[in-house]
Homo-oligomer: A and B are copies of this chain.
Amino acid sequence: MDTTQRTDQQRSADRRRRELLEAADRVVLRDGPHASMNAIAAEAGITKPILYRHFGDKGGLYAALAKRHTDALLDSLRAALDAPAERRERVEATLDTYLAAIEARPQVYRFLMHPAEGGQSADQGFDVGQHSAPLLRRMGEELAQVIEDRLDLGPGSQLLARVWGHGIVGMMYAAGDWWLGERPCERGELVRSMADLLWGRLAAAGDKVGGPGF
């Protein structure tokens, strides 16, 4: 096997792949998560079978596409999480970073959270597991790792960290989604409210007069 030849080919293929991904990106941003393979191929100036040669199937293309955006988002989240500041400030910065991202590019967000179900081949056998968006899982695991690394949680810390990682990410997700739809307040206010929740204000709050508390 000719090694340099092989690398040349691979480089060319990789360039093509990136071009195709960029075209796909444009289409998904324009048409939403239901962008068809035909449309993507047309945008890239080619026809379907090439896409299939490069990405296997629609799920493969969408996975590749999602990976880019997910990586980018995770990078900025890591940056916010690693900043030199108090814990509460970091938490707020991370929440704010996430919200700013979904606010700035809602279509990307929508695509990442709803990878269009990926056809029926993927879930034949009905595994149930991993039904939620890969982005959520990855964010959850990442946050869990940080929590476990940095916090002293005593026995059972690993499990606790993972539960919290996924839980906090879910909180961010659901509250963010609701906020994005209704825009009931400024971003900062939402951030503060969520941080308050994480800081135990739910447990500390007093009952309202007139009945047993929640």
Residues of chain A whose beta carbon lies under 8 Å from any beta carbon of chain B? 32-34, 81, 84, 87-88, 90, 106-107, 110, 113-114, 116-117, 120, 123, 126, 128-132, 136-137, 140, 146-147, 149-153, 159-160, 162-164, 166-175, 177-182, 184-185, 189-190, 193-194, 196-209, 211-214
Contacts and interface: CB of A to CB of B under 8 A. Distances in A.
Contact of A32 (B34, B126, B160): B126
A213 B151 contact: yes
Nearest to A111: B131
A120 B62 CA distance: 17
Contacts of A152: 205-209
Contact of A163 (B150, B160, B180, B194): B194
B175 A170 contact: yes
A153 B205 contact: yes
Contact of A208 (B136, B149, B171, B178): B149
Given A32-B126, A114-B117, A181 B131 contact: yes
Contacts of A132: 113, 173-174, 177-178
Tell me which of A107, A137, A202, A205 has the highest count of chain B C-beta atoms within 10 A of its own C-beta. Answer: A202
A144 to B, nearest CB: 9
Nearest to A141: B178
24 contacts: A32-B126, A81-B214, A87-B213, A87-B214, A107-B128, A110-B128, A113-B132, A128-B181, A129-B181, A131-B181, A136-B174, A136-B177, A137-B178, A150-B213, A151-B208, A152-B205, A152-B208, A162-B184, A163-B193, A166-B175, A170-B174, A197-B198, A198-B200, A199-B203
